[in-house]
Amino acid sequence: MISGKLKILEHALLSMGRRKQKNFAIIAVYTLTVATLASILFLTQSLRTEARNVLLDAPDLVVQRLAAGRHDLIPNHYAEKIGQLPGVGNVTPRIWGYYYDSLKKVNFTLMGIGPKERDLQLFSGELPKTAKQCALGNGIAKAYGVELGDSLVLVDSQNRTLLYEITGLFDHQSNLLTNDLILLTEPELRRFFNLPADRATDLAVQVYNQREIATLAKKIKYELPDTRPVGKTEILHTYDTVFNWRSGIMLTVFVSALIAFCILAWDKATGISAEEKREIGILKAIGWDTTDVLMLKFWEGLAVSLSSFLLGSSIAYLHIYFYGASVLTPVIQGWSVLFPEFQLTPAIDLYQIFVLAILTIVPYIACTVIPSWKSAITDPDSVMRS
């Protein structure tokens, strides 16, 4: 029985070899469709996984102050009130802000570092200790062409030109977080943005029991009605939503590939060529059963669809994880001009791959077998005459 199926498979491969040009064109379109869809799935899943890994060390709660519905500076004494709530650990005021460079036409993130944040991992050098020192992310160093020991020129909120010595550079492996980051000492950053000493950008709150984060967020909101507590899980949900939305944009952009695949499947479903009908009639005339003919067409459809799926998935894997997803990355990552360059860690959802395989392989096999069944149950003589 197994020997007979192998013979049918061998005949299917030989039959496909006689129609090389047609099958090559089908496989090319099929592979392009699978590669496009798989690339979007791979990139979205990897970015989602990177975001989860990055946020593992994020604060359990970030408390912001709202004024007229917008983010505003928060008084430092709010940290004392929050720290008195049961279950709350350290409450750390954070100073940070955005800086636009009109020459490079790019936004940077400036963050103040206090005495408690001295354990950050740097690629080389050390964190700033004085008002005239700074540490840079890898992207900013490349944008300005500077190295350790060079100087960085910035213009503060009062239009004063300031010169900072570069004492540290972040590791390129942290690019997702630090690519557009500039670290200054906290007092210097307050002077740079002209911020009052009794206010901070937001508060980072440590929660001892992770299951009480939502409860503490409600308590903080009750005690301080003008605040907005944001939990780590809410940030993760936001990332998932954003990446899903942007991947949907990419699917819309590449809808032409989906249309090409639908046309291909429809062409197969509308009927088979006269040559294929004649071949089926000959096989029936020499003693093949209808089951054998359907098995032959099943193997042909499986060979084309499975080859295209594996080839398309492999191309997508190479595109995302070896060539940096150069086609899709600008849309998925966001609006910033200074894109972080980092090596994505392969993170493949087997469920997504299974669904993609079902949606691409099964319809093609069905579109191959069903028209063949109509010819297989017809009288061989009439089939060959037609």
Q: What is the pLDDT of residues 34-67, one digit of tens each?
A: 888 888 888 878 777 777 776 777 788 999 999 8
Residue 345: domain span? 2-54+241-385
- Residue 210 placed within a domain: yes
- Residue 236 placed within a domain: no
- Residue 164 placed within a domain: yes
- Residue 125 placed within a domain: yes
Q: Do 200 and 313 belong to one domain?
A: no
Q: Do 86 and 27 belong to one domain?
A: no
Domain boundary among 230, 256, 272: 230
- Residue 165 placed within a domain: yes
- Residue 156 placed within a domain: yes
Q: Do 215 and 336 belong to one domain?
A: no
Strands (E), 156-262: 161-170, 181-185, 199-200, 202-207, 227-231
Q: Do 71 and 212 belong to one domain?
A: yes
Full pLDDT tens readout for the chain, 386 residues = 555 555 666 656 666 666 677 778 778 888 888 888 888 888 878 777 777 776 777 788 999 999 888 889 999 999 999 999 998 888 999 999 998 888 877 888 899 987 666 556 556 788 888 999 999 888 888 888 888 889 999 988 888 999 999 998 887 655 667 778 899 999 999 999 999 989 999 999 989 888 888 899 999 999 999 999 988 878 777 766 766 666 666 666 566 666 666 666 666 555 566 666 666 666 656 666 667 767 777 887 788 888 889 999 999 998 888 877 777 666 655 545 545 555 666 777 788 788 888 878 887 787 777 776 666 555 555 555 55
Token pair for 55: 């946020």
Q: Do 280 and 179 belong to one domain?
A: no
Q: Do 324 and 375 belong to one domain?
A: yes
Domain boundary among 189, 204, 230: 230
Distance CA 143, CA 122 (A): 19
- Residue 354 placed within a domain: yes
Q: Do 140 and 279 belong to one domain?
A: no
* Count of beta carbons in the 10 Å neighbourhood of residue 213: 18
- Residues whose CB is less than 8 angstroms from the CB of residue 368 and which lie 6 or more positions away in sequence, other chains included: 268, 297, 298, 300, 301, 304
Distance CA 47, CA 105 (A): 25
pLDDT given for residue 75 in this prediction = 93
Q: Do 285 and 223 belong to one domain?
A: no
pLDDT tens by residue, 317-326: 988 888 777 7
Q: Do 44 and 190 belong to one domain?
A: no
pLDDT given for residue 12 in this prediction = 60
Q: Do 281 and 224 belong to one domain?
A: no
3-state secondary structure of 115: coil
Of 201, 180, 204, the residue nearest 190 (C-alpha): 201
pLDDT given for residue 255 in this prediction = 63
pLDDT given for residue 49 in this prediction = 76
Q: Do 249 and 142 belong to one domain?
A: no
| pTM confidence score | 0.67
Total count of domains within the chain: 2
Q: Do 147 and 198 belong to one domain?
A: yes
pLDDT given for residue 201 in this prediction = 93
Domain boundary among 230, 250, 278: 230
- Residue 378 placed within a domain: yes
